[in-house]
């Protein structure tokens, strides 16, 4: 179940938001009395409540807004219990002084906004002894391992326990707590009105992650990177899992480079089944792979990990998807080297450039790498056996295939292009890996020449569909994923 926290300054707004949320399907809400900026009337808030409520009145020291006296705060909590509210949230230090009464269930809580303490289990056991119906522990995640410790603590608790790590790194704990036995998780009414750091919106929880369908059998997948907040992969994969009625969830894991090794060990322990991999981990994950496919070896990077039978298998679906799109455009895939004798220009020398340059070389093209940082271009050229040229000389290449593997042209810099339009040769293939927007300036100008174009959306959807196949054994629903993706970059910004 998802508990939606409501913090509004006026009673009437809190009541209206509560009603609205119930119309949207909310089954439990937390009313934050500390947000009300006038004398609090608990009865008015709860007398006609449209769904069960948790009453919370948080002090500033615990991350709340209550500025009144402690005595008044305790009086409010006692009044809420006297009104017969469904739950009351009591911090550890006051739980003893507010006795159980009537049907109101007691949530005994602890917050730590600095860290996730080492002794989570001990803290939980202490809270359990305070006549708790539910224990709630919310702590700040400073590294991805904190999520795993939190989930492990929930799973081993003798009392129903809501546990979550705050901050962006803590997001997986909020999404997966139900998988490990938490009775509910907290969400905010709107993503711009988070009441705790890293809180997701009710809509995200339901429409993207289908939180209420997660149970102890749900298989865990995700994407690792740093940063990760912008990733569209959770949207695509969760939608595809749901479409195929698979009991799987796909979670964004923000993993700083220095925590990768520990994270992979934790994945094994928690039974994670598969991961998409993005910047900066595509090369580093190789040291954890027990098996990789041939392209991963050649490229030196993987964007997909599958955990199976004690093995970690690495794939590169960026490469496969890009080559499927390219081969479709070449229409000569039956020849082993359809690009023999053709000049290809790769702009950029990062992960995407590496995958594409490798594929172009395999197809026989004469590849030139141009990248802002010359040494990086030279290193890539040496690795795959081609030439590097200074970034400023990129327009001198008479390319029949042009690949943009830099972020130039990406939102919000939509008026930029990595190559002057006059240097696009009619009938050349122009492949822009940037997918937001799909119609980059480069793609628009290439269409006008006219060139043959391949967009980053095609590549992104293609790589996601191939990952889906690795994760499930089923063909990825490409058209459906494309539709989700276009809708996401066109309109919906969660």
d(CA 151, CA 342): 54
Greatest Cα-to-Cα distance within the chain, rounded to the nearest angstrom = 84
Q: What are phi and psi of 248, to 5 degrees?
A: -140, 150
Contact window for ligand NAP (CB under 6 A) among 162-170, 178-186, 211-219, 455-463: 455-463
Q: With contacts defined by CB under 6 A, how many residues of the chain interact with ligand NAP? A: 24
Which residue stretch of 146-154, 200-208, 229-237, 459-467 sits at the interface with ligand NAP (rule: CB under 6 A)? 459-467
Identify which of residues 188 and 433 has a Cβ nearer to ligand NAP in the complex.
Answer: 433
Write the CA distances from 490 to 235, 410, 411, 438, integer angstroms.
14, 14, 12, 9
∠ CA 264-268-272, rounded to 5°: 95
Cβ pair 134, 160 in contact under 8 A: yes
Residue 176 or 410 having the CB closest to ligand NAP? 410
Report d(CA 19, CA 279) in Å as an integer: 42
For 210, left (φ over 0), alpha (ψ -120 to 50), or beta? left
Beta-carbon-side half-sphere exposure of residue 398 (alpha carbons within 13 Å)? 2
Of 460, 467, 472, 476, the one binding ligand NAP (CB under 6 A) is 460
Q: Pull the structure tokens for residue 100.
A: 């159980």
Closest C-alpha among 7, 270, 297, 284 to residue 155? 270
**Least separation, in Å, of the C-beta of 267 and ligand NAP?**
22
Choice from 144, 351, 359, 476 touching ligand NAP (CB under 6 A): 351
| 54 or 324: CB nearest ligand NAP | 324
Q: Which is nearer to ligand NAP, 162 or 405 (CB)?
A: 405
Select 132 or 454, whichever has its Cβ closest to ligand NAP: 454
Query: How far is residue 288's CA from residue 285's CA, in Å, rounded to a whole number?
Result: 5
Stretch that binds ligand NAP, among 65-73, 100-108, 143-151, 351-359 (CB under 6 A): 351-359
Contact letters for ligand NAP, residues 219-258 (x by CB under 6 A): ----------------------------------------
Q: Which helix (H) or strand (E) holds 81?
A: helix 70-82
Least Å distance, CB 290 to ligand NAP, is 24
How is 181-211 classified by DSSP, letter by letter?
T-S-EEEESSGGG-SSTTPPBHHIIIIIT-G
Q: Name the minimum Å distance from CB 395 to ligand NAP.
A: 14
Q: How far is the CB of 348 from ligand NAP (least distance, A)?
A: 4
Stretch that binds ligand NAP, among 98-106, 243-251, 324-332, 346-354 (CB under 6 A): 346-354
Q: Which among 142, 143, 165, 140 has a CA at the least distance from the CA of 154? A: 165
The set of residues, in sequence order, having a beta carbon less than 8 Å from that of 447 and lying 6+ positions away, is 453
Nearer to ligand NAP, 3 or 349 (CB): 349
Contact status, residue 161 vs residue 135, Cβ threshold 8 Å: yes
Q: Closest CB to ligand NAP among 77 and 324?
A: 324
Binding of ligand NAP by 463 (CB under 6 A): yes
Class of residue 228 by CB neighbours under 10 A (exposed 0-12, middle 13-18, buried 19+): buried
> What part of residues 364-423 is at the interface with ligand NAP (CB under 6 A)?
371-373, 376, 405-408, 410
Smallest gap from residue 280 Cβ to ligand NAP (A): 8
Angle, in degrees to the nearest 10, between helices 351-362 and 317-330: 50
Task: Print the binding letters for residues 141-160 with ligand NAP: x by CB under 6 A, - otherwise.
Answer: --------------------
DSSP annotation of 63: T
Of 238 and 316, the one with the shorter C-beta distance to ligand NAP is 316
In the bound state with ligand NAP, the residue whose beta carbon lies nearer, of 239 and 434, is 434
Residues 304-323 contacting ligand NAP, CB under 6 A: 318
Query: Looking at 339, 349, 381, 442, which residue binds ligand NAP (CB under 6 A)?
Result: 349
Q: Which residue is nearest to ligand NAP (CB)?
A: 350
CB of 322 to ligand NAP, least distance (A): 8
* Active-site annotation, residues: 111, 136, 282, 318
Considering the complex, what minimum distance in angstroms separates the CB of residue 359 from ligand NAP?
A: 13
Phi, psi (5° rounding) for residue 87?
A: -140, 150
Question: Is 108:87 a contact under the CB 8 Å cutoff?
Answer: no
Give the Cα separation of 118 and 218 in Å (integer): 28
Smallest distance from the beta carbon of 410 to ligand NAP, in angstroms? Answer: 5
Smallest distance, ligand NAP to C-beta of residue 178, A: 31
The residues of the shown chain that bind ligand NAP, judged by CB under 6 A, are 279, 318, 348-353, 371-373, 376, 405-408, 410, 433-435, 456, 459-460, 463
């Amino acid at each position: 179940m998802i508990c939606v926290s409501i913090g509004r300054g006026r009673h009437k707004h809190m009541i209206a938001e509560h009603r609205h949320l119930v119309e949207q399907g909310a089954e439990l809400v937390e009313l934050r009395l500390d947000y009300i900026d006038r004398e609090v009337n608990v009865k008015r808030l709860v007398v006609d409540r449209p769904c069960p409520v948790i009453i919370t009145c948080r002090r500033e020291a615990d991350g709340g807004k209550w500025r009144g006296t402690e005595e008044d705060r305790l009086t409010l909590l006692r009044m809420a219990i006297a009104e017969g509210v469904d739950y009351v949230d009591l911090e550890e230090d006051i739980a003893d002084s507010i006795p159980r009464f009537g049907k109101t269930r007691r949530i005994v809580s602890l917050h730590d906004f600095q860290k996730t303490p080492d002794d989570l289990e001990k803290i939980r056991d202490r809270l359990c002894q305070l006549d708790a119906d539910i224990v709630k522990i919310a702590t700040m995640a400073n590294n991805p391992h904190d999520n795993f410790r939190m989930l492990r603590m929930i799973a081993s608790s003798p009392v129903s326990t809501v546990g979550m790590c705050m901050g962006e790194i803590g997001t997986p704990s909020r999404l997966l707590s139900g998988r490990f036995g938490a009775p509910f998780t907290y969400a905010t009414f709107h993503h711009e009105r988070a009441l705790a750091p890293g809180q997701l919106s009710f809509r995200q929880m339901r429409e993207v992650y289908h939180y209420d369908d997660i149970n102890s059998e749900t298989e865990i997948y995700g994407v690792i990177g740093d940063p990760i907040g912008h990733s569209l992969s959770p949207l695509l994969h969760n939608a595809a899992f749901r479409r195929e009625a698979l009991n799987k969830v796909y979670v964004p894991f923000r993993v700083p480079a220095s925590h990768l090794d520990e994270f992979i060990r934790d994945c094994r322990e928690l039974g994670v089944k598969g991961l998409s991999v993005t910047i900066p981990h595509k090369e580093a994950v190789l040291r954890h792979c027990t098996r990789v496919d041939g392209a991963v070896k050649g490229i030196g990077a993987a964007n997909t990990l599958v955990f199976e039978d004690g093995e970690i298998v690495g794939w590169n679906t960026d490469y496969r998807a890009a080559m499927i799109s390219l081969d479709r455009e070449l229409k000569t895939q039956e020849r082993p080297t359809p690009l023999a004798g053709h000049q290809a220009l790769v702009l950029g020398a990062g992960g995407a450039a590496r995958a594409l340059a490798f594929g172009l070389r395999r197809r026989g093209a004469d590849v030139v790498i141009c990248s802002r940082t010359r040494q990086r271009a030279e290193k890539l050229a040496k690795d795959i056996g081609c030439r590097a040229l200074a970034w400023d000389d990129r327009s001198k290449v008479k390319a029949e295939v042009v690949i943009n593997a830099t972020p130039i042209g990406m939102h919000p810099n939509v008026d930029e292009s990595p190559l002057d339009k006059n240097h696009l040769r009619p009938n050349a293939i122009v492949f822009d890996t940037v997918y937001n927007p799909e119609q980059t300036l480069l793609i628009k100008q290439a269409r006008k020449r006219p060139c043959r174009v391949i967009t980053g959306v095609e590549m992104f959807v293609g790589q996601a569909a191939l990952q889906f196949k690795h994760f499930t054994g089923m063909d990825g629903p490409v058209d459906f994923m494309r539709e989700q993706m276009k809708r996401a970059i066109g309109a919906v910004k969660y």
